[in-house]
Amino acid sequence: MRKLLLLSLMLTLVFSPAFAQGTAVISGKISKPLSDVVEVALRPNPLVPEELKLEATLEGNSFRVEVPVNQAVVAELLHGDEVVPVYLEPGYDLNLSASGGKFLKTLKYAGTGANENNYLAAYTLRFEEEEEYQALPDNIKQEEEEFLAFLDYRHNDQLESLEKYAAKNAVSERFKHMMLAEAEFSYANDVINYHPLRQRILQVTLTKPSAAFYTCLQKLNLQRPENLLSTSFHRFLQHYTTYLAQEAGFDEKHPRHYQSRYEAAAQKLQGQAKQLAQAQVLQQSIRKGHAKYTEQMLQDFLSQKPDPALTAYLNKLSNGKSSLSAGSQAPDFALASITGDSVRLSDFAGKLVYLNFWSSDCGLCLVELPALQQLTNKLKGHQAVVLNVAVGADEANWRKLVQEKELQGVQAYLPNGLEAKLATDYQLKELPAYFLIDGQGRFISVKARRPGHPEALNNILQHLKAAQASLK
């Protein structure tokens, strides 16, 4: 079935306008093959993280695949568990030879585009595979001056190797600038990651490097068009906006973390670099960020009339997002309480709500009851309420358990179990399920810590403190 789909995709491409505008051909022979197929994976639009995959079946260890290429692109060549980068421009006609067990080490190209790709293969083998040139495992342990000396040594070696190779072998200017970007932004990535990574490896709290350590970040060529071809540049933008947000006091746990990164990109970047960085932030925020701030960022981004394909991708991603996420409005409900009164979630506007869906015949729910009682008691006197909703167990048994155990907090009952509309609204799959909801009825967390978690109380108190601070 998969091959039929791939064949259909390839036929579609062959007869599409995009395919007609430009093509690159990759053919070759693989000795000792690891499988009977070779795949080429690429992103036709560097701003959009959607991948196109093409597959060719080996025939007598040989293959041929035509790739739609309208502009320079770095694709991935996949065979078995081997993955190597391949640089393509419209009109390239590459013929390769390699051994399946030692793909990168034995990879050789001939034909149009061979000079660029022979260098790329040698660069990958040397600077991305050899331990001498990696921050991990040993270089990261060095003090900042020694670490910068290591980065300078590697960077100079990268520039020298490119200069010597290009002096003897004709390569396109676009490719040359892409490799310069690789060298520049691999350096910058290691500078940004040095402090947090070193702390994690050494497992100690370290003094932050001096301001001079980060000087290189002020000298980067962020507007080079070929940056978009560099995988190191794409990684750098993510690391850079994260670094700027953390410097501003918005770590990954802060609800405005992604918003801070988005704003930092607007302040520090221009053109396609800014568009790509903000799009990266939006993609992450849509998946796991605060819904309210994500919507604000998305509206701002779309108002700038970005790349049409990127606009379509972000809208698709946003429309497919679950309605239950941090910052989204929690569904209101009205249920009968243990006293016979009606209780609504909206009754607790202005208070933090720890919402517990449980059942009196759920073993894990019963195990958590003592911790739940302690949590409820410790929250007395705070602007918080523990709202317990019993889901579908026998109502008489529920009432008996609440009375015998003298359960604290607000107790309500939901008939019809997980089939009830409210259970669907909250996407309940199993019990217990815990949610944390702010005073405006928005989710703080759709997977709140269980009552017995050592940090459950502290987490709630921190949110209460943050809510009080926002009112000042």
Judge if pTM exceeds 0.85.
Answer: no
Residue ending a domain, choose from 61, 92, 112: 112
Is residue 285 one of the residues assigned to a domain?
no
- In a domain? residue 378: yes
The domain boundary, picked from 112, 135, 163, lies at 112
106 falls within a domain:
yes
The angle formed by the CA atoms of residues 292, 293 and 296, to the nearest 5 degrees, is: 95
Kindly state whether residue 66 falls inside one of the protein's structural domains.
yes
Domain membership of residue 303 (yes or no) is no
State how far Cα 378 lies from the chain centre.
Answer: 37
Q: How many residues does the chain have?
A: 472
Q: For position 45, which CATH number holds?
A: 2.60.40.10
Are the C-beta atoms of residues 89 and 172 closer than 8 Å to each other?
yes
Q: Tens place of pLDDT for every residue, the chain, 472 residues?
A: 333 334 333 333 333 333 335 999 999 999 999 999 999 999 999 999 999 999 999 999 999 999 999 999 999 999 999 999 999 999 999 999 999 989 999 999 999 999 999 999 999 999 999 999 999 999 999 999 999 999 999 999 999 999 999 999 999 999 999 999 999 999 999 999 999 999 999 999 999 999 999 999 999 999 999 999 999 999 999 999 999 999 999 998 888 999 999 999 999 999 999 999 999 999 999 988 888 899 999 999 999 999 999 999 999 998 887 778 888 889 999 999 999 999 999 999 999 999 999 999 899 999 999 999 999 999 999 999 999 999 986 899 999 999 999 999 999 999 988 889 999 999 999 999 999 999 999 999 999 999 999 999 999 998 898 877 665 5
Q: Which amino acid is located at 60 in the chain? A: G
CATH assignment at residue 404: 3.40.30.10
- Whole-angstrom Cα distance, residue 449 to residue 470? 23
Strand 73-79, strand 433-437: pairing = unpaired
Query: Ramachandran region of residue 290, left (φ > 0), alpha (ψ -120 to 50) or beta?
Result: beta
Tokens 């342990």 appear where? 141
Q: Does residue 397 lie within any of the structural domains?
A: yes
Domain membership flag for residue 107:
yes
Cβ–Cβ < 8 Å for 373, 404: no
- Helix or strand run (H / E) with residue 68: strand 62-68
Total structural domains within the chain: 2
Does some domain include residue 94?
yes
DSSP characters over 394-448: -HHHHHHHHHHHT--SEEEEETTGGGSHHHHHTT--SS-EEEEE-TTSBEEESSP
Domain housing 24: 2-112
Residue ending a domain, among 112, 145, 162, is 112
**Residue 362 — φ and ψ, nearest 5°?**
-105, 115
How far is the C-alpha of 112 from the C-alpha of 116, rounded, in Å?
Answer: 9
